[in-house]
C-alpha cells in the first residue's frame, strides 16, 4: 500500500461550551479578531452581520495555520458550536495539536476555564491510497454475480462490457433494530478518472489518521489472502 495523500483529518471535541467560557468573557468582536490574528485565518465570521446573527453562531474560521516548535500546521477549518469545537486539517494528529494549542492559548488569552465535564473526542480521517488489490477481491468468488451483470447490464451498456466493484461501504449500528448512524461509516471507493489498473482509492473512516492507515494495511493483507 502506498499513501498518495492525506486528504482530511477532523477532530471533534464535544464539551458544553458554557463550562469552558470565561467568567468575564471578552466581547465577541474582540474574541473573533483575536482568534483570526493568532492563527492567521483568511476567512472569519462576518462582523458586518447583525450582532444577533453573529452571536448565534456557529462561528467558522477557515484558511489558517498553527506555527509551533518550528512546525507549520495548516488549518482548513475551525468551528465553534454550542456543544463543542471541530477542527479540520490534513490529519487528525494535526487537528489534535491545533485543539491543544487553542485550549492553552485561549486559557492564557481569554481565561478559558477547566472542563467540568470530561470531553469526548471524536476523529474522522480521509486518505487517498494506491492498494495492491482489486476491490472485487473483497467480495470473494462471485461467478453468479458476474453472470447477472453480463445478462442485464452489459446489453444495456455495450461500451462498458466489464463491471467491477467501485465502492465498499460499511455502517456501524447499535443494534439490528435501529437505523444506521451515518456518523459511523467506513468507505473505500475508486478514484474517478484514474485507470482501473492503478487501484487508487479514497478511504474515509471514523478513525485517527494513523489508525486508519493501519486498518487499511490490515485490510490489504486479508484481501491478499483471499485472492491467493
Q: Determine the pLDDT at residue 224.
A: 77
Domain boundaries, the chain: 10-122, 126-227
Rounded Cα–Cα distance for residues 147 and 187 (Å): 26
pLDDT digits (tens, 9 = 90+) for 159-172: 878 778 889 899 88
pLDDT digits (tens, 9 = 90+) for 167-205: 989 988 877 777 767 678 999 999 988 988 899 999 999
Go through the chain and tell me how many residues it has: 228
Task: State pTM to two decimals.
Answer: 0.87
Q: Determine the pLDDT at residue 39.
A: 97
Cα–Cα distances in angstroms (integers) from residue 12 to residues 99, 119, 208, in the given order: 9, 10, 11
Q: Determine the pLDDT at residue 228.
A: 52
Asked whether 114 and 47 are in contact (CB, 8 A), the reply is: no
Rounded Cα–Cα distance for residues 204 and 36 (Å): 29
C-alpha cell at 208: 485517527
pLDDT for 141 beyond 90: no
Which of 17-26, 49-58, 102-111 has the highest average model confidence (pLDDT)? 102-111
Cβ neighbour number for residue 194 with a 10 Å cutoff: 14
Query: Once rounded to an integer, what is the mean pLDDT over residues 142-154?
Result: 80
Rounded Cα–Cα distance for residues 88 and 53 (Å): 24
Look over the chain and give the mean of its residue pLDDT values, rounded to a whole number: 89
pLDDT for 5 beyond 90: yes
Query: Once rounded to an integer, what is the mean pLDDT over residues 75-98?
Result: 96
**Least confident range of 121-135, 178-192, 210-224:** 178-192
pLDDT digits (tens, 9 = 90+) for 52-62: 777 777 899 99
End-to-end CA separation in angstroms for the chain? 17
Amino acid at each position: 500500500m502506498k499513501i498518495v495523500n492525506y486528504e482530511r483529518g477532523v477532530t471533534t471535541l464535544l464539551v458544553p461550551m458554557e463550562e469552558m467560557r470565561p467568567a468575564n468573557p471578552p466581547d465577541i468582536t474582540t474574541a473573533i479578531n483575536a482568534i483570526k490574528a493568532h492563527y492567521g485565518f483568511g476567512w472569519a465570521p462576518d462582523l458586518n452581520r447583525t450582532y444577533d446573527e453573529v452571536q448565534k453562531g456557529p462561528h467558522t474560521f477557515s484558511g489558517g495555520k498553527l506555527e509551533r516548535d518550528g512546525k507549520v500546521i495548516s488549518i482548513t477549518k475551525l468551528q465553534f458550536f454550542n456543544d463543542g469545537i471541530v477542527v479540520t486539517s490534513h490529519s487528525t494528529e494535526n487537528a489534535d495539536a491545533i485543539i491543544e494549542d487553542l485550549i492553552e492559548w485561549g486559557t492564557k488569552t481569554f481565561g478559558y476555564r477547566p472542563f467540568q465535564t470530561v470531553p469526548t473526542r471524536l476523529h474522522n480521517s480521509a486518505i487517498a491510497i494506491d492498494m495492491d488489490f482489486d476491490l472485487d477481491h473483497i467480495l470473494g468468488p462471485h461467478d453468479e454475480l458476474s453472470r447477472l451483470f453480463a445478462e442485464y447490464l452489459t446489453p444495456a451498456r455495450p461500451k462498458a462490457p466489464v463491471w467491477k466493484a467501485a465502492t465498499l461501504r460499511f455502517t456501524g449500528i447499535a443494534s439490528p433494530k435501529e437505523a444506521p448512524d451515518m456518523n459511523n461509516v467506513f468507505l473505500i471507493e475508486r478514484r474517478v478518472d484514474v485507470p482501473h489498473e492503478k487501484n487508487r482509492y479514497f478511504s474515509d473512516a471514523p478513525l485517527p489518521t494513523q489508525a486508519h492507515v493501519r486498518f487499511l494495511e490490515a485490510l490489504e493483507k486479508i484481501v491478499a489472502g483471499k485472492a491467493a
